[in-house]
Amino acid sequence: MILVTGATGNVGRELARVLVKSGHKVRALTRGTKQSMRPPGVDRVAGDLNQPETLPAALDGVQRVFLLSGYQDMPGVLAQMRRAGVERVVLLSSGCVVGGEMSNAITRYNVLSEAAVRESGVPWTILRPSGFMSNALQWVPQLRAGDVVRAPWGGVRIAAIDPSDIAAVAAEVLSAEGHEGHSYRLTGPESLLPADQVRVLATVLGRDLRFEGQSDAEARAEMSRTVPAEYVDAFFRFFSDGTYDDSRVYPTVQELTGRQPRTFEQWALAYAEALR
């Protein structure tokens, strides 16, 4: 039995689908009650990673766990897994932890989550992906309103990854032996500017789209309406101050799965209807 946390998210839902297709028994941990959000073929069990005491029933009979970073009491969560006899934890972290500063809120919660996993006594594997291609879905309101996409950090390249490729790697390291104690840096196959992504979307959607970079002041004001201040600051330190280089392409997805990761164009073709 494999427990998937975040099973309705970009990575977790695809991971659950892949595992079920491969013949694994999969359980999804959820705080909600909406059965429609449950991936097909996956058992749903209630529990809250912010409240480790709610987890024993969810962990009953579980051998392996796909775990997201950033919960309030990660040592407590891992202690419950150890007591339940979990044999491996695969943690979804971030590439920003390498050389990152603990004063950055995003780096800090990932570093602390990784430390909790390493110190838990449960065999572990850590995945450190780059930015997600699916972040381009935040442009949908602009795409529906006109032909201009405005976004911050127009000069910053990111080797963005398709969440389905993260899921493919996670399925591999959850299923196969030989990954214990390894941390894997995961990226897509190319490093693109936001304008490059918009040009790809123009081709895929058959539209004359144009990218315009936002000023830092405009971007900060817009992000601050929906994102907590410490995380807004974290992103600006990453990409305005240049403390995090997310542009390097790594071959890890191909090495672990035997196939090339999807390009942004391939991702956009798969999500064309959602982008229209």
CB 159 within 8 A of CB 6: no
Let me know if residue 224 belongs to a domain: no
Overall pTM surpassing 0.75 (yes/no): yes
pLDDT in the model for residue 32? 62
Q: With a cut of 50, which residues of the chain have pLDDT below it?
A: 36
Let me know if residue 125 belongs to a domain: yes
Half-sphere exposure of 182 (CA within 13 A, CB side): 14
pLDDT in the model for residue 34? 54
pLDDT in the model for residue 30? 83
pLDDT tens figures, 75-121: 999 999 999 999 999 999 999 999 999 999 999 999 999 999 999 99
- Tell me the residue type at 72: Q
Let me know if residue 199 belongs to a domain: no
Let me know if residue 81 belongs to a domain: yes
Q: Among all chains, which residue has been given the structure tokens 């202690």?
A: 79
Let me know if residue 218 belongs to a domain: no
User: What domain range includes position 89?
Assistant: 2-130+162-188+248-261
CATH number for the domain that contains residue 92: 3.40.50.720
Let me know if residue 270 belongs to a domain: no
135, exposed or middle or buried, with CB in 10 Å at 0-12, 13-18, 19+?
middle
pLDDT in the model for residue 8? 85
pLDDT in the model for residue 33? 52
| Cα(106)–Cα(96) distance, integer angstroms | 8
CB 230 within 8 A of CB 102: no
Number of domains in the chain: 1
Let me know if residue 79 belongs to a domain: yes
Let me know if residue 156 belongs to a domain: no
pLDDT in the model for residue 38? 59
CB < 8 Å & 24+ apart, contacts of 141-148: 143/201, 143/205, 143/209, 143/275, 143/276, 144/276, 147/207, 147/208, 147/209, 147/210, 148/209, 148/210, 148/211, 148/212
